[in-house]
Amino acid sequence: MDSSLKSLVNDDNRYQKSFQLFLECSSEHQCMRDFIHNMLPDILASIGDGKSHLNVIGVGSGAGEIDLEMLSKLRLKHPGVTVDNEVVEPSSTQLHNYRVLVSQKPGLDYIKFNWNEMTSSEFEEHWRVNKMTKKADFIHMIQMLYYVKDPGATINFFQSLLNKNGKLLIILVSGESGWGKLWRTYRNQLCSTDISQCVTTGDIKSFLDSKGQSYQSYELPSQMDITECFTEGDEKGELLLDFLTEVLDFSKTASPELKAGVLKLLRHPDCSVESNGKVIFNNNLGVILIDQLT
């Protein structure tokens, strides 16, 4: 990462603002919901071996909306089960929002929520130190492998926690998305070196292939309106540029050459299509589903 640039994750307030704007401008949550409603139920039907109690771990759960939708599908496929749900989320703001959501939603008394305000690596350390032996039937890591030092090691650890017939669900940006092209081109300038920030499902598949590990994968079409990014000084545009580049105050701190190069690439047909005066970025996601290591 260029030494003059700071990672957006260093400023939680601006990160949350840019993330909220990203959700408003993209079909991210909608495409996840389509997957959860149409494909996830059959996946969840195969876990649990008929047990009356299931263990779930959500890693990087954010404010919990997607988690609760997945848990409702779990309940549909396994009526009458009780669920132990470990929530792992480092942002106190997001964890608070999740707790508020749970308190307002009726019918969740079959779930015991365990709140862990920690990163996935802190959770891993906590698990090892306490010599935990509990196994999980379903673990999900949605849009969080960007924030770990070693995605492969993180996957290995959580895969080791799976019960027989357990499933590990990973959702990340697709290697075929505009993000993939942006990161392949500007990884050295934009991406923080102490976390794996610029990782896509393409990288995860390569890692799993190298281990000879089988997995299932799906592509989720998604898009994002980035039109404002091309209006100098536009507040929304600047927040979206921060989110796209993962750089704090990108417009103000990037060199003119880097800024011009990034804006040109974002407009390139490899990343976006232009239609009716709008620039629509390819925000496709990829899903990877992994079984217990045998």
Annotated binding site for S-adenosyl-L-methionine: 60, 89, 94, 120, 142
Length of the chain: 294
Nearest to 102 by CA among 141, 133, 61, 131: 61
Identity at 192, one-letter amino acid code: S
User: Binding-site residues, please?
Assistant: 28, 60, 89, 94, 120, 142, 283
Q: Phi and psi (nearest 5°) for 259? A: -60, -45
* Core vs surface per residue 132-159: b (16+ CB within 10 A) or e: eeeebbbbbbbbbbbbbeebbebbebbb
Q: Are 280 and 289 in contact (CB under 8 A)?
A: no
Identity at 77, one-letter amino acid code: K
Q: How many CB atoms lie within 10 A of CB 262?
A: 23
Nearest to 254 by CA among 1, 52, 4: 4
Rounded CA separation 59/54 (Å): 16
User: Binding-site residues for substrate, please?
Assistant: 28, 283
